[in-house]
Structure 1
């Protein structure tokens, strides 16, 4: 797959960041044959030029929809984005739609349309995978295609690849992690004297929290990531609904600052533990809880950093720390998947 034809569904912050990174010398070669948003799709049989991609990204940044841009492109606009995927016949479909933690939403529909057209899949949206893991992965196997989704956990950090490599002949028995940058950001602000409501408003003003913050502060986002982590790096099925979730709304400013004075930090820590089975695959239990961690711990992050600590049976611990959120970081992970699939190596499925 020297220069694959790709179709990108979703042109929000991550999608626009990806279009910008595709211009960099370090990016893998590809031809963007189709782009979709909620209004439909633009197609280009020859592949969009850099100038055209810049024009589309600039228009999307101002809130325009692809439906308003169709007249300016030779191959035009299609109102039915799913049919447009089949028409463009991409070799790779890159799914960047907003996450729907109830089961995938548009992401799942785009994925199945891509598979029907013969495309391999790259996901940044965690909802389709966490909500319908068996359905999506079974569809990939039936179609004989490949699947990558490293951006779903840890943003720009190669969490899934590192964990999968670490687990070879060395089972991972537990994982502790900070997987939601919004929660780390809010708790960091609370350490400076704010209460939860003040810190949440400040995070929203800084673009670090959504207008509806429930997915982040109530643990749904982190739970979806824990579900994917358990399946990929531990080989353990784990439904999002089975994960115990604590809410950041219960954090008091006094508790946050009391922990800091004691040389600790209060953080929303996700934990997965392997539950051995006498026969068949092991299972896992998982939770997301507010807990104090030692200030010198890998989990004592600030700002919007993420951290993951894999505890293995034979080789001790492996800790990864880095930026787990941000459009550019997430887009970089998508391009990493594109480079890996273009080279013909290491699909997750």
Structure 2
């Protein structure tokens, strides 16, 4: 039986979802994979970092989060105001870093990931910032400490695009990548293809939970840019800066343009692309 001590930093929708899955899949993990996971620490921006050596009770944590009460109300938990300090003081086997994406400097996620790797922890993350701005550095750090760094969820959610290319296609020479990387804009544009205008399609996406109250990151293409940066670094070995990606969002697209494309047998989509130009040894990135 293998036992893992897990730390989750970022206890919003993703972090709570992971904790809930660990609770509901506990028996399956033990019977099917010979694995037990003890959640020993959790952190969020509001309440800081809590740790309990014997493990934290997941239903209690979820109830505290749902009611907006401090996580430190968990019985027997030690608390640090700063997540990084708490992580460095306690450690664990695996760190799940799921704080929000920040494309300016990737903080605080990048510091959490660096600290976890330096302590010999395996790290999984859904935070696009660290991979977009420092993917090559972080994978090198993981290799130095003989641990795994996984960020599959940062590009195309549950679709295993990163591991497929980096591992399943390890012997291939990838020269170009092109595809739809943002589900929100794809939903909006598909809705507009049925005759809705942009504002109506956006409101529908927000009502369905596909778009945030502030949809800027999606509709202006920043989310797709972050994913493109991750692919550039991890697939092509060419770290880029956000300003090196040509970006054009969907906010200026009209219903008439979408319907005209339909009439011509075409579709308007937000496409991310990476193209290696061998003659100039450059990587062209566009969204």
Q: Name the TM-score, length of structure 2 as normaliser.
A: 0.89
Cα deviation for residue 164 of structure 1 reads: 2.1
Q: Does 1:54 align with 2:54?
A: no
Q: Aligned to 2:40, which of 33, 53, 63?
A: 33
1:289-346 per-position Cα deviation (integer Å, ceiling 9, x unaligned) = xxxxxxxxxxxxxxxxxxxxxxxxxxxxxxxxxxxxxxxxxxxxxxxxxxxxxxxxxx
Aligned counterparts, 1:8-157, within 5 A: 8-22=8-22, 23-24=24-25, 25-27=27-29, 29-38=36-45, 39-48=47-56, 52-62=57-67, 64=68, 68-157=70-159
- Residues 182 and 224, structure 2, Cα contact 8 Å, conserved in 1: yes
Flag structure 2 segments of 5+ consecutive residues without an equivalent.
30-34
- Residues 133 and 229, structure 2, Cα contact 8 Å, conserved in 1: no
- Residues 237 and 284, structure 1, Cα contact 8 Å, conserved in 2: no
Query: When the two structures are aligned, how many residues end up with a matched partner?
Result: 279
Cα deviation for residue 165 of structure 1 reads: 3.6
Structure 2 residue matching 1:54: 3-state secondary structure: helix
- Residues 134 and 239, structure 2, Cα contact 8 Å, conserved in 1: no
Cα deviation for residue 273 of structure 1 reads: 0.5
Q: Distance in 2 between matches of 1:93 and 1:178?
A: 29
Flag structure 1 segments of 5+ consecutive residues without an equivalent.
289-349
Alignment RMSD, CA only? 2.1
Q: Distance in 2 between matches of 1:277 and 1:58?
A: 58
Distance 1:139 1:168, change over 3 A: closer
Cα deviation for residue 200 of structure 1 reads: 1.5
Structure 1 residue matching 2:59: 3-state secondary structure: helix
- Residues 103 and 130, structure 1, Cα contact 8 Å, conserved in 2: no
- Residues 132 and 233, structure 2, Cα contact 8 Å, conserved in 1: no
Q: Distance in 1 between matches of 2:180 and 2:66?
A: 30
Q: Does 1:234 align with 2:239?
A: no
Q: Distance in 1 between matches of 2:218 and 2:275?
A: 22
- Residues 135 and 233, structure 2, Cα contact 8 Å, conserved in 1: no
Q: Which residue of 1 aligns with 2:32?
A: none
Q: Aligned to 1:167, which of 166, 169, 173?
A: 169
Cα deviation for residue 144 of structure 1 reads: 4.6
Q: Which has the higher contact order (CA 8 A, sep 6+)?
A: 1
Cα deviation for residue 175 of structure 1 reads: 1.0
- Residues 167 and 233, structure 1, Cα contact 8 Å, conserved in 2: no
Cα deviation for residue 231 of structure 1 reads: 2.4
Distance 1:189 1:41, change over 3 A: same
- Residues 118 and 141, structure 2, Cα contact 8 Å, conserved in 1: no
Q: Distance in 2 between matches of 1:170 and 1:113?
A: 33
- Residues 188 and 201, structure 2, Cα contact 8 Å, conserved in 1: yes
Q: Does 1:220 align with 2:222?
A: yes
Q: Which residue of 1 aligns with 2:7?
A: 7
